[in-house]
């Protein structure tokens, strides 16, 4: 019964295609948009320092991601984790009502 319910939600316009699209958007936001936002927010609030650029920030974050730095993982996967948290809270809220 559960498997049939999963397959029913995987049709066009709902279920799996929508979930994959939202996951891709969250991951693209984490890997492309977050480093840019961090750079410009830091530049606006703290000012630029010598040698600072968006490219250097990207290389620093991706190098940290490759070596396993928790800060880099949080930056890059943050939007996806936020989306999963939102879904879990929404599911709990619906289950309670």
- The one-digit pLDDT tens for each residue of the chain (97 residues) are 465 555 455 445 567 888 889 889 999 999 999 999 999 999 999 988 888 899 999 999 999 999 999 999 999 999 999 989 998 898 888 887 7
Domain boundaries, the chain: 23-96
Q: Please count the other Cβ atoms lying within 10 Å of the Cβ belonging to residue 91.
A: 10
The angle formed by the CA atoms of residues 58, 71 and 74, to the nearest 5 degrees, is 90
**Residue 10: its pLDDT value, please?**
46
Take residue 73 and report the two structure tokens written for it. Answer: 């993982």
Tokens 């989306």 belong to which residue? 83
| Residues 29 and 79 sit within 8 Å (Cβ to Cβ) | yes
Task: Record the pTM.
Answer: 0.70
Take residue 35 and report the two structure tokens written for it. Answer: 């480093």
**Residue 95: its pLDDT value, please?**
84
């Amino acid at each position: 019964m559960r498997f049939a319910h999963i397959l029913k939600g995987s049709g066009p316009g709902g279920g799996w295609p929508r979930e994959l699209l939202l996951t891709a958007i969250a991951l693209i936001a984490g890997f492309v948009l977050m480093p840019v936002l961090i750079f410009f927010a830091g530049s606006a609030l703290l000012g630029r320092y010598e040698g600072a650029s968006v490219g250097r920030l990207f290389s620093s974050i991706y190098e940290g991601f490759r070596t396993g730095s928790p800060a880099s993982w949080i930056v890059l996967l943050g939007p996806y984790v936020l989306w999963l948290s939102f879904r879990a809270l929404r599911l709990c809220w619906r289950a309670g009502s």
